[in-house]
Amino acid sequence: MSRIEIHGYAIVSDDERIADAAGRTPDVLRNEADWAYFQAELNRSEVTVLGRLGHEANPNPRNRTRMILSSSSRGIERRPDGWWWNPGMLPWAEAIRMVLPHGGRVAVPGGRRVFDLFLDIGYDAFHLTRAEGILVPGGIALFSACEAGRSAEAVLSEAGLAPDPRQVIDPAGPVSLVVWRK
Ligand SMILES: NC(=O)c1ccc[n+]([C@@H]2O[C@H](COP(=O)([O-])OP(=O)(O)OC[C@H]3O[C@@H](n4cnc5c(N)ncnc54)[C@H](OP(=O)(O)O)[C@@H]3O)[C@@H](O)[C@H]2O)c1
């Protein structure tokens, strides 16, 4: 099979949350430097793989190719707004072969069930941005294992990834980025 490279992207609080209790991204997890980095990374990717709620909440003005996870798909379906995939009906290898028959780079921006699923499928890299000093009590965790008190770093390390050095992308906060690689 052609080479597929999978990259995860998240911005998290110190308590490993990606969204608030209502499932929305709070302002404290929005950062311009992180957004610019993420957009540049999406420009290097052939497809963005995300959950239905994230797809509906985030418009796609650049018309990038999306693959949307949803139980409403019967496997993999081409719809006007992207490829709709149900992992319970069709394995990843078969689904991505339809979308990227010649291989390429895949960006995975979540949410939590999607991040969990790709822990099993296997990340080649995970770009973990942290809004340092921020807490989002009762919010949605990056991985379900984080709900049980595990750190994002512990989960990524157990998944066979190792960290590059920490970079400060915004001194206000600060907001830092660590890229974890296989
Ligand atoms: N801070 C960050 O980096 C970050 C990252 C990601 C998301 N967010 C924020 O988090 C919120 C949304 O995240 P979320 O976790 O609540 O939702 P989500 O992952 O965007 O969407 C969840 C939906 O995706 C579908 N889905 C996910 N996994 C599936 C699976 N294995 N099989 C079938 N369908 C699956 C289901 O759709 P159906 O109901 O159609 O079956 C599910 O209801 C948004 O506010 C978003 O902006 C933040």
- Establish whether residue 71 lines the binding site of ligand 1, counting it when its CB lies within 6 angstroms of any ligand atom: yes
113 lines ligand 1 (CB under 6 A): yes
* pLDDT value of residue 124: 98
Predicted confidence at residue 2, as pLDDT, reads: 75
- Test site for ligand 1: of 17, 52, 117, 135, most ligand atoms within 8 A of the Cβ: 52
| CATH-assigned architecture of domain 4-181 | 3-Layer(aba) Sandwich (3.40)
Residue 47 C-alpha to ligand 1 middle, in angstroms?
17
Spatial contact of 15 and 71, defined as CB atoms under 8 Å apart: no
Q: Is the dihedral of CA 102, 106, 111, 114 positive or negative?
A: positive
* Residue 1, helix vs strand vs coil: coil
Cα 142 to ligand 1 centre (Å):
11
| Rounded Cα–Cα distance for residues 75 and 91 (Å) | 9
Residue spans of the domains in the chain: they are 4-181
Weakly modelled stretches of the chain, pLDDT under 70 = 1
Provide the token pair at 12: 């998290």
The per-residue pLDDT for 65 is 98
- Record the pTM: 0.97
- Residue 139 in contact with ligand 1 by CB distance below 6 A: no
DSSP-derived secondary structure for 6-39: EEEEEEE-TT-EEE-TTSPPPGGG--HHHHHHHH
CA–CA distance, 86 with 60 (Å, rounded to integer): 21
